[in-house]
Structure 1
């Protein structure tokens, strides 16, 4: 690793021009341009946007989701037939439909005042934490790759490989408590890291685009786990279903609040991983070099930073973090390995990373938000009849607005308000000088 002054390296990394490689450098990263540079610029513009835009994107998505709920509600449709005669009935029905659905969502994700005990009242919050755990871990993996300028679309496959490695250790090895769980966690990290290092190496040595490679690896992982669960080594004896034996109790994450709650130790692992990624990016030499590679790989190479090594290291770490999400699933929530162990967490992690602006703590809170959506969506459908698919619509709208910051700023007139404040400040200064 380079030991140069970070300030001089940062200046080089921010250079607008792309200087040629240093003669004799050992960095063999192929120089790509055109579409890849355009994609890198798009990624940088999305990741570097303000937190205010992210918050407003969520607010705008929730508002539009409420409008969709109202439009599809039967009572609203009935009141709309005489809208011009009594418009207040239609507006009242629309408000009742949207507010009732979101109240049920809150009740299923945060707090249920109708529960019989105080513990059960807060049970929805523990469910949100449980569902958010793999989202946070996988989102950190995607965000870390984003900070290095890489599109890691392979979190789905990395979760599956992490769950496969961890699950096999969990049900085939029989070790004492503590040691067994440690091996399960390490195996999950290694499994995800191995699946992540493949696109990293191909990117560094051949210039293969990581998006294509990671998508293909997702399909390989999906079919690989499906095949293994039909073999004697992985299939539960006496069962014809593609499911593994149950993991040993010594291989499971302990439940933090007792057997009546599903919240497990994996949530604390997610918090620790968030702090670890924050420290890596902001307090370590490796993190500085990764950020420099993401800012400008040509300038980073000129500053003596190995872009090849940066791509490999960041994809290995990103895959390992996604692998920990697989551990949280197989050793914390499901306790068995199935072909659907990753659900859609790998793809949702991309949205989480974008909403969190690829900042570790931003990803953490974005994961909690999406965990609340998933945990409360079932309660919303049960109590109000609102389709749970509306949650997916809201998530998709968040992606849309995150990817189009100018649209959000135009809707809320953020730039115009800044210009007005700047004009007032200039007039105030001019008046004081006079």
Structure 2
């Protein structure tokens, strides 16, 4: 009989440089650019105004943000669930975590072909846009076009004339205020300057007129650009997040959104990536019956999180079952190779209080219980647990991504609590 640990696949034998990248931390300065300068034909945005702040993040937090942006865009893609940190596993060689401001490693700006490279820069930009929104207090995010179309069809509203695209995101803060956001970005080779003005102008064009097309109306919009240089660049321009914040317009034949629409979109997408596809559909549509489920739970910093246990290979055993971990606890010995490494378990999770609220919110209720939840503090520092530590990211919406590292010297096998929930 094979030892249960053999089912974990190659996750525990990752290259050392990838593991080092997962411990990286960095930041990017934030510069607010005047809308008039961006839109003026011969206007200049350089030199940038003084930074208005910065976004500090770990590699785990970046992976979390990119994965969240991905599942907002493709909420039903099963491939998103397997390998929560797949983006950094595949692209860890791109980034230089040893410099003060987040940069690309030398030669990485043009490492991929044009289409692949632009797509990769776009994914990084979307992740950084979510980190920017988190920094501004907007914990809950939905894919705007998906949400608008869903309700426009039911309200006999046509797609606005002359509009080819819609903004990327609609987001909500703790005051229940909404904003729209469009992300742009690019990678710049050594000693070149990206077309930041052109990218932000495109972002403004994509945002233009959309805030007046829904009610409740967003209080503002953001065109957010993330532009990364290669490390070693001798230019006086550093990697940046630049944004423009245009004023809202007067409403015009708006599509009506429920007050909890953004929160439902936010949580439904994360349920999908956790593998709860039917629950995701129910939450998003606000219709259907809940089911009783047995979920593994971990406690981090006094908070409980329901988790899904991700396998490196989708062909491996189902690591999210209680039977697998019970069998592992009962195994009489640990193979010699594990004496030094311990075990690493990759997790995708959600605050248990949020999960329970999603299961108890009454469809007929006029005020969703989701609106009573308040964002929590973000965290990406290691959190000590029994027998090891959690390395990863916890967003203010309660979503979690990371790995549980259990050391052989302490307690090699995670001791999950198993709880029944309605979801």
Shorter-chain TM-score bucket reads under 0.3
Task: Mark the structure with the bigger radius of gyration.
Answer: 1
TM-score, normalising length: structure 2: 0.27
Between Structure 1 and Structure 2, the one with more strand by share is 2
